[in-house]
Amino acid sequence: MFATANAAALKTTDKATLPKDLFSAIEDLKKDLNAVVLAHYYQEPDIQDIADYIGDSLGLSQQAASTKADVIVFAGVHFMAETAKILNPDKLVLLPDLEAGCSLADSCPPDTFGKFKSAHPDHLVISYINCTAEIKALSDIICTSSNAVKIVNQLPPEQKIIFAPDRNLGRYVMEQTGRDMVLWQGSCIVHETFSEKKMLRLKMEHPDAEIVAHPECEAGVLRHANYIGSTTALLKYVGGAECDRFIVATEPGIIHQMEKQTPKKHFIPAPPEANCACNECPYMRLNTLEKLYLAMKNKTPEITILPEIRAKALAPIQRMLEMSV
């Protein structure tokens, strides 16, 4: 629904100038601009297919940190493009739709979080990368869903920790590490929409299916999962597992890569609580191939960050990259 409404929202002048073959026009622009297109697995299939690199949040940050391109076109959401800009202040970083935000990042406003942090002065702040640059600037270490457990395990056992903003990932990390942490109570509207009851009904219809889930899901969903991991980890797992049917409890955009990787296996999206498409991330789906092309052609919308915020947000991201190798 969002993608269609949004494509319709393109200016008439923009629509008139769209080339017939968007794929080859984007390939030409990549060469002209010396641009790289980085895409998250939750992007629509066409965007995934035109991308130079598709990955999870950690892989995308690692690519952004090492790219030699002059222009980074980020097919993902705002906090991801912002991370790329923090790592590359002198490069042009484009996001096809600046409205592509994140409910989880929105659930942690910097003012309130600053007071929360002040109330726990002896705690180290670990923030999930799904947060704004301002929250990153208030953090000591950034993590993603693929390295959160690894990072927490590297800290001395007596170190007190605040984990923000995702309460579900935080709880999962506490279970995996046996550590107590103070959790900020944020969450993702997509991963909290899955219905445990409907998923179990689906499992009864397909008893041979394994359930794979992202750690942003609620405990009720995670407790039935055969495997829990980041999007990249889920993709690797379903590729290597003997099972050939999976119920996928994360944003269904990833199923495009799962099917490409193993066309003979079957992937069933986990159902949302309501009768809606709420398991699709409305922010990720704001980006379209048309908008990606126009962003490259017009070199806008561009990501900008205040230098003082950028300087403070860089150190915790670099710490994450060092602790992930």
Which residue in 190, 209, 228, 309 binds ligand SF4 (CB under 6 A)? 190
Rule CB under 6 A: say whether 192 interacts with ligand 13P: no
- Residue 272 is classified by DSSP as B
> Of ligand SF4, ligand 13P, none, which one sits near residue 56, judging by CB under 5 to 8 A according to partner kind?
ligand 13P
Core vs surface per residue 24-35: b (16+ CB within 10 A) or e: ebbeebbeebeb
> Of ligand 13P, ligand SF4, none, which one sits near residue 231, judging by CB under 5 to 8 A according to partner kind?
ligand 13P
Binding-site sequence positions for [4Fe-4S] cluster: 102, 188, 281
Which is closer to ligand 13P, CB of 100 or CB of 294?
Answer: 100
The H-assigned helical ranges of the chain are 2-8, 12-16, 22-33, 45-50, 57-66, 78-87, 103-106, 110-118, 133-137, 148-153, 167-177, 196-205, 219-222, 231-240, 255-261, 289-298, 307-323
Q: Which residues contact 97 (CB under 8 A, 6 or more apart)?
A: 6, 286, 287, 288, 291, 301
Q: Binding string to ligand 13P for residues 160 to 179, with x set by CB under 6 A, is what?
A: --------------------
Rule CB under 6 A: say whether 231 interacts with ligand 13P: yes
> Of ligand SF4, ligand 13P, none, which one sits near residue 144, judging by CB under 5 to 8 A according to partner kind?
ligand 13P
Find the shortest distance in angstroms from Cβ 279 to ligand SF4.
9
> Of ligand SF4, ligand 13P, none, which one sits near residue 103, judging by CB under 5 to 8 A according to partner kind?
ligand SF4
> Of ligand 13P, ligand SF4, none, which one sits near residue 57, judging by CB under 5 to 8 A according to partner kind?
ligand 13P
Transcribe 30-64 into DSSP letters.
Answer: HHHHTEEEEEETTS-HHHHHH-SEEE-HHHHHHHH
Find the shortest distance in angstroms from Cβ 73 to ligand 13P.
18
Find the shortest distance in angstroms from Cβ 189 to ligand SF4.
6
Binding-site sequence positions for iminosuccinate: 40, 57, 128-130, 145, 214-216, 231
**Cβ neighbours of 234 (radius 10 Å):** 26
* CA max distance for the chain: 62
- Residue 271 is classified by DSSP as P
Residues 25 to 84 in contact with ligand SF4, rule: CB under 6 A: 77
Rule CB under 6 A: say whether 255 interacts with ligand SF4: no
Strand partners, 266: 245
Q: Which stretch binds ligand SF4 (CB under 6 A): 196-204, 232-240, 279-287, 291-299?
A: 279-287
Residues 43 to 72 in contact with ligand 13P, rule: CB under 6 A: 56-57
Helix or strand holding residue 270 (H, E): none
Answer for the pair 36, 71: CB distance below 8 angstroms, yes or no: yes
CA angle 224/230/234 to nearest 5° reads 65
Per the document, the length of the chain is: 325
Which residue in 83, 88, 103, 147 binds ligand SF4 (CB under 6 A)? 103
Which is closer to ligand SF4, CB of 88 or CB of 145?
Answer: 145
Q: Is 249 helix (H, G, I), strand (E, B) or coil?
A: strand
Transcribe 152-188 into DSSP letters.
Answer: HHTS-TT--EEEESBHHHHHHHHHHH----EEP-B--
Q: Which stretch binds ligand 13P (CB under 6 A): 84-92, 142-150, 272-280, 300-308?
A: 142-150
Which is closer to ligand SF4, CB of 43 or CB of 63?
Answer: 43
Which is closer to ligand 13P, CB of 35 or CB of 142?
Answer: 142
Binding positions for ligand SF4, rule: CB under 6 A: 77, 102-104, 130, 188-191, 251, 281, 283-284
Binding positions for ligand 13P, rule: CB under 6 A: 56-57, 130, 144-146, 216, 230-231
